[in-house]
Amino acid sequence: DQQVKQNSPSLSVQEGRISILNCDYTNSMFDYFLWYKKYPAEGPTFLISISSIKDKNEDGRFTVFLNKSAKHLSLHIVPSQPGDSAVYFCAASVAGNTPLVFGKGTRLSVIA
Amino acid sequence: SAVISQKPSRDICQRGTSLTIQCQVDSQVTMMFWYRQQPGQSLTLIATANQGSEATYESGFVIDKFPISRPNLTFSTLTVSNMSPEDSSIYLCSVDGGLVLFEQFFGPGTRLTVL
């Protein structure tokens, strides 16, 4: 049973517009969430995170929103750039338990 | 941040053989992790490797199939034993210790194809 779900395998967005990547989780014990970005032939790299005590965290063009009651989080990229084209993984953790649980990823394509 | 390298970057192997993947980190780290990403699937943790102790395996993974060594604080190996086509995956090592809680640094991965 997948505890972290990314139901959209792919997303295509025009350059300059907003990209919204979604993630749902089932384990209510998760209290820390991270987004990773992965380019082909490279390992995932950390992008942004959020603790369950917050509902929003912003870092430049990237904002993560957390809706605990819906067990849903989303990553917003504004404005989207061609260099943002990659696979984005949502990951979750229970505080004090380092191993991360990952979703299957969403492939974002930003079209110039 | 940690810089992680993996060898080999990719390999094609025959059924029934074994492959050892190496992971080298440019700094000393306590915990190293091994993940598998099967085609179209999420990253799944295989085991956690701490220096000086036996690796801790996640449910569904056993030491006989995926033996791990951790001889020092900068190096680890994962062996995929008696391979079958179902073992075709990307194998990644990672380490923790970023400035962000639970942030992990990943190696570039080893793409394994078993014929």
Task: Write out pLDDT tens, residues B3-35.
Answer: 999 999 999 999 999 999 999 999 998 889 999
For A112, residues 6+ apart whose C-beta sits below 8 A from its C-beta are A15, A82
Picking from A64, A100, A101 by the largest number of B CB atoms within 10 A of its own CB, the best residue to mutate is: A100
Cβ <8 Å between B102 and A104: no
What is the CB neighbour count within 10 angstroms for residue B114? 19
Q: Which of B104, B105, B110, B111 to mutate to test the interface with A (most CBs of A within 10 A)?
A: B104
CA distance A50 to chain B (A): 10
* Rounded distance between C-alpha atoms, residue B19 and residue A107, angstroms: 30
- Give per-residue pLDDT as tens, A40-90: 889 999 999 999 999 999 999 999 999 999 999 999 999 999 999 999 999
**Nearest CB to A43; choose among B40, B58, B109:** B109
Give per-residue pLDDT as tens, B30-64. 889 999 999 888 999 999 998 888 899 999 999 99
In angstroms, the separation between the Cα of residue A5 and the nearest Cα of chain B is 9
Closest chain B CA to residue A44: B106
CA dihedral B47, B114, B105, A109 (to 10 degrees): -130
Tokens of B115: 């014929």
> CB of B32 within 8 A of CB of B95?
yes
Task: pLDDT band for A99, please (50, 70, 90 cuts).
Answer: confident
Q: Which two tokens stand for residue B39?
A: 């085609």
